A and B are shown apart, each in its own frame.
Chain A
């Protein structure tokens, strides 16, 4: 959990009370994370900026329903942002004909001078992904990076839906364990 998660929860409470300056505060804190994720997945800066605006507007509208016992503010915001990103990926209706999703999405690096800590964390997550069996890793990557549904992945890989669900669940369970170990070992980044 992030060091400042307690502060974040307080900011969310202020937003829920109608304090728009708290929204600006939360925006300043998390805009880069939301933008980085959205622009990485969408590969379009204009659309990523739209996702940023939609995400924080939804934060404003739904802050009263945030429950800190259910997850960090970071996870809550990124879940909203991912949902808005998926909407756009799906609206494009050209996911399967896009440039194939390959290592450049998984292995993308920040400028090392800008984000040394983030790069270290990223390398460890990339390693955790690579350690998954190929069929599980590909299934997760198609869902995460391409926004494909389980049914679409089944169709894309010509595999039965039940097989895809199993692979997705197994892959996520293993990833959860690996990333949990990373967290426990103290490798943590802000973004």
Chain B
């Protein structure tokens, strides 16, 4: 198609700002419409297949323009953190979805093919649909399959009303007995199911919690806001510690190994040395375990570039407002 043909077909008078949606297709694909224009375009495209196809192909063209962007490698560590956070959030949201109980008698919407929402290539969650009651499989079938026994004959020697009375009594006794037995079985099953559900549910919740903790740790350890400070020994032994500072959440986590035990009445205390702060800031005290390992969590707000040094000193139990004892480890 020549420029002249295209211009003739699509030209909009300069003084006309109200234009049919067809003329907004390119702007819609490029994201250059106002929210009102976009809403109008989407509404029209939902009922006009030609407009819909036009918009879809324009969006393919815009997606092609993305190839103009030179390939850039995302930082692998940060990417791993993003990936881990996404998976963690997805797992958590899936759990919430699957654990949400459906109310008895709740109606579910049957999807209608072709319903779409705003973004192209997208079929919306059904805005309209056929309402069907939430099925209870087997219930109707079971009910209809039950048959009322037909009494074909009657015992000899009994009159009509006597027979009916006897039959009623037998029926009541049999029904009562069956009912009693069924109720007992049901209660027993219910108890077993409840106990097992509670047990399984607790296990699932516990496992989900473990997974979420691990994912959260991976995410925080690989996140873009993480700064890592290695602390090395100043003594003849070989203790080592690594401190992770999530600068976004201002959470501090320190892992230390091969530490000696503090002297009786003493404890180890962590210090943060920050730019513009005249005195070291206490980040808490800790005691290593029997193997000399320790994990310490702390929260202390600090400007992103402020941290200059981290140190651990041995101080009297309970800690001191400023360092007084020997420095065990230090890092920057």
Contact = CB atoms under 8 A, between A and B. Distances in A.
Nearest to B26: A172
A118 B17 CA distance: 39
Contacts of B227: none
A32 B224 contact: no
Interface string B124-165: 110000000000000000000000000000000000000000
Contacts of B90: 20, 23, 60
B59 A75 contact: yes
Interface residues of B, number: 68
Contacts of A105: 68
Interface in B1-19: 1, 3, 6-7, 10-17, 19
B74 A32 contact: yes
A153 interface: yes
A41 to B, nearest CB: 7
B82 interface: yes
Grouping DSSP codes into helix (H, G, I), strand (E, B) and loop, the A interface class, with mixed when no group exceeds half, is: helix
Contact of B63 (A74, A163, A166): A74
A80 B56 CA distance: 14
Interface stretch (B92-100, B200-208, B295-303): B92-100
Given A32-B71, A36-B71, A60-B93, A166 B12 contact: yes
Contacts of B12: 162-163, 165-166
A70 B34 contact: no
B291 interface: no
Contact of A143 (B23, B30, B68, B79): B30
A141 to B, nearest CB: 10
Interface string A70-89: 11101110111011001000
Top 9 nearest A-B pairs by Cβ distance? Answer: A71-B121, A40-B69, A160-B14, A67-B123, A172-B26, A110-B70, A20-B90, A162-B12, A70-B121
13 contacts: A31-B74, A32-B74, A40-B70, A66-B122, A79-B121, A114-B71, A144-B62, A160-B15, A165-B19, A170-B10, A171-B26, A179-B61, A191-B71
